Structure 1
Amino acid sequence: MRIAIATVQVPFEYGGAEFLAANLKHQLLRRGFEAEIVTMPFKWYPSASLLGSIRIARLLDLSEVKGKPIDLLIALKFPIYLAEHQNKVLWLLHQHREAYDLWGTEYEGLHTMPHRDRLRKLIMDYDRKHISRCQKIYTISATVSTRLRQYNGIASTPVYHPPFGYESFRFESVGDYIFCPARLEELKRQHLLIESLRYVKSPVKVLLAGVGKQSYIDRLESLIEKYALRDKVHLIGWISEEEKASYYANALAVYYAPFQEDYGYVTLEAFFSGKAVITCTDSGGPLEFVQQGTNGFTVPPDPMAVAETIDQLYQHKRIAKTMGMNGQDLLKHLNLSWDAVIERLTA
């Protein structure tokens, strides 16, 4: 069977979505399928570019290549899932969130565009029409399925998958630092963690790994200087997969508190590493795994609440270790498996 994995790419950015597409291709090839990733560049601003991206997706012909049919199209992201195909399966990472759950929030940028209400309606109408035409409709999480049902009235089935390289994650020790690996941007809310250190009483340190928007990095640097946290907070930038696994293995706990995350590999990576997770009540995907007081903490998005949790974990490292082990046990119980994913997508 020839399978095309359809996704989009923001040039010069590589994150969870790109890892998922590459891993999906790898897993399909391992099982004897002929698979390829079909990518279109995506620019969502200004409105003319957004509309152009939608038109390009609608005009794509992914039915065959060089006279050979593409038997199955697995679509992952907006707007390429609008492309027509006789056998299209949707495994939805997320829609254009600015028209949905981010609409009207501080993170939403669609409001700056002319005719924003009309543009939002256009996106939602296209989604209702073309998603409904898919042969099967899956999502990567219950959070994404809830949005699809809430905004578009479309039912779907969440299909969880393990993170890239999950076999390499391990537990080594309970250290004295909070580890936070994620793209540096407003939605990931690393600033909340830095602000919490103003109230932390224990001598804990914070390691922030990742790259991102320079304007946001400048904001983080400004907070570090403002609150004299240079000895406590370390921005370590890009790290290899081996380094990431080592940082996880020796952390006290992991902070991952984005705003309405779709899925969140960090939560799963932390649990595979035997680490408790600190997240927030509005963090979306992580809440599908983090159980308050059992394998982590779910707190309001407030610096003082985060600080209290960090101190509790530092002062009670045996509890921190137990919580991390509980996270490992949860993943064993869930039995996250690429075999199950591939079976669903290709059946």
Structure 2
Amino acid sequence: MRVLVATNGVPFIRGGAELLADALVRELNARGHQAEQLRIPLRWEDPAEVADVMLYARTVDLRDVDRVIALKFPAYLIPHPAVTVWLLHQFRQVYDLWGTPWGPDVADPRWQGLRHAIEHADTTALRRARRVFTNDTVTRDRLSRFNGVDATVLHPPLPDEGQIVGGPAGDYVLCLGRVATGKRPLLAVEAMARTRSDVRLVVAGQPESEETADALRAAVERHGLEDRVELRLRFLETAEKRELLAGALGVAYFPIDEDSFGYVTAEAMTASKPVVTVTDSGGILNLVRDGETGLVVDPAPEQVAGAFDRLAEDRPRSEGMGRAALGAVAELNLSWEHVIKELLR
């Protein structure tokens, strides 16, 4: 089967969604299909640019393609007769992020008009799709709430499943993944200024902007944390990421209402590491159970600092939570065979 995996992307920025798209193409080709990827450039700061990208998606003329697997807005707007949607992200700025600090200017009439246009286009396209899956219950419930569209949860496997191994716990908590404001790495740094133990922090990942990176550097300097906080602000190759995971005491992940449990969570738990997260981090809370597979606290530096200290001061319990985390992620049976069978059915 000739399959086009369609998604969006910001040039030179790579995160979990990009890794998933790459892995899906690779796994389809490994099973004898012909698969390629279409990445539609998307920047959301200007409503006119978003509207242009929507128009582009709705006018893409695909020939000699048997199936389109659309992952993100606006890829599912492509007018192909056989579109299967595996929804990772809608344009959340006009849905649950509308009227929040992470959304656009709601008083701007251009954004108001675009909001209605996106809701209408999404609902129409998603109802027209042959099948609709989501990556977790959070995305599914949001889709039902805003668009009245039912979907089936299809959990994504890790991009390179089977290659993650645990290791002896070191003295650092690892804050891993794309370094973006919505992932709140700054919360981890601010927490370090309030810890009582000698726990260290490693923040590792590609920054979304130089402003985000500068804010982290400034916080480290402001609190005098140069000897306890290491910033690896760049894209990490797989081997380096695996090494950091294997040696971590635990993993910190604080996204705002994450659409799923996230690759960072699954990778950490596969490496038998407990995950520290916060009460408003969304789908992660389906896997991270407080005191069992990790620690769940309020999104405040003092609370996060206490969680870091608990990991460092009670290592036997931390290791026990890590073992439980491995068992919890194993129960999900994250399998490419299952995913591809469902997407091509």
Give your verdict on TM over 0.5. yes
* Aligned-residue offset at 1:113: 4.7
Alpha-carbon distance in 2 for matches of 1:76, 1:151: 18
Q: Which amino acid aligns with 1:232?
A: R
Map 1:130-149 onto structure 2 (within 5 A).
Answer: 130-149=125-144
Q: Which amino acid aligns with 2:95?
A: Y
Residue of 242, 247, 253 corresponding to 1:256: 253
Q: Does the 8 Å contact 2:67/2:82 carry over to 1?
A: yes
Alpha-carbon distance in 2 for matches of 1:159, 1:110: 33
Q: Does the 8 Å contact 2:178/2:205 carry over to 1?
A: yes
Q: Which amino acid aligns with 1:44?
A: W
Q: Which amino acid aligns with 1:144?
A: T
Alpha-carbon distance in 1 for matches of 2:38, 2:210: 29
CA RMSD of aligned residues (A): 1.3
Q: Which amino acid aligns with 1:106?
A: P
Question: Residue in 1 aligned with 2:30?
Answer: 30
Q: Does the 8 Å contact 1:99/1:110 carry over to 2?
A: no
Question: Residue in 1 aligned with 2:103?
Answer: 108
Alpha-carbon distance in 1 for matches of 2:121, 2:92: 14
Question: What per-residue deviation string (whole Å, max 9, x for no partner) do you get for residues 132-185 of structure 1?
Answer: 000000011111111101111111111012222232211111111001112122
* Aligned-residue offset at 1:112: 7.1
Alpha-carbon distance in 1 for matches of 2:176, 2:317: 22
Question: What per-residue deviation string (whole Å, max 9, x for no partner) do you get for residues 179-237 of structure 1?
Answer: 11121221010111111112210001000101211111111111111111111111022
SS of corresponding position for 1:167: coil
SS of corresponding position for 2:101: coil
* Aligned-residue offset at 1:120: 0.7
Q: Does 1:322 align with 2:327?
A: no
Alpha-carbon distance in 1 for matches of 2:224, 2:136: 39
Aligned length: 342
Q: Does 1:16 align with 2:16?
A: yes
Map 1:161-200 onto structure 2 (within 5 A).
Answer: 161-200=156-195
Q: Does 1:246 align with 2:243?
A: yes
Residue of 200, 224, 227 corresponding to 2:223: 227
Question: Residue in 2 aligned with 1:126?
Answer: 121
Q: Does the 8 Å contact 2:5/2:25 carry over to 1?
A: yes
Alpha-carbon distance in 1 for matches of 2:125, 2:105: 22
SS of corresponding position for 1:216: helix
Question: What per-residue deviation string (whole Å, max 9, x for no partner) do you get for residues 49-78 of structure 1?
Answer: 11111111110112x1xxxx3111111111
* Aligned-residue offset at 1:309: 1.0
Alpha-carbon distance in 2 for matches of 1:16, 1:233: 24
Alpha-carbon distance in 2 for matches of 1:270, 1:226: 30
* Aligned-residue offset at 1:288: 1.9
Alpha-carbon distance in 1 for matches of 2:91, 2:227: 39
Question: What per-residue deviation string (whole Å, max 9, x for no partner) do you get for residues 315-335 of structure 1?
Answer: 110111111111111122221
In the superposition, relative to structure 1, how do residues 332 and 72 fare at CA in structure 2: closer, same or farther (>3 Å)?
same
TM-score (norm 1): 0.96
Question: Residue in 2 aligned with 1:206?
Answer: 201
Alpha-carbon distance in 2 for matches of 1:12, 1:106: 25
SS of corresponding position for 2:128: coil
Q: Does 1:334 align with 2:329?
A: no
* Aligned-residue offset at 1:21: 0.9
Alpha-carbon distance in 1 for matches of 2:332, 2:277: 20
Question: Residue in 2 aligned with 1:295?
Answer: 293
Question: Residue in 2 aligned with 1:281?
Answer: 279
SS of corresponding position for 2:334: coil
Q: Does 1:218 align with 2:224?
A: no
In the superposition, relative to structure 1, how do residues 341 and 110 fare at CA in structure 2: closer, same or farther (>3 Å)?
farther
* Aligned-residue offset at 1:91: 0.4
SS of corresponding position for 1:11: coil
SS of corresponding position for 2:295: strand
Alpha-carbon distance in 2 for matches of 1:269, 1:129: 35
Alpha-carbon distance in 2 for matches of 1:326, 1:162: 19
TM-score (norm 2): 0.96
Q: Does the 8 Å contact 1:75/1:90 carry over to 2?
A: yes
| Residue segments in structure 1 that go unaligned for 5+ positions in a row | none
Alpha-carbon distance in 1 for matches of 2:276, 2:71: 28
Q: Percent identity?
A: 37
Q: Does the 8 Å contact 2:172/2:248 carry over to 1?
A: yes
Alpha-carbon distance in 2 for matches of 1:331, 1:307: 26
Alpha-carbon distance in 2 for matches of 1:8, 1:229: 37
Q: Does 1:312 align with 2:310?
A: yes
SS of corresponding position for 1:115: helix
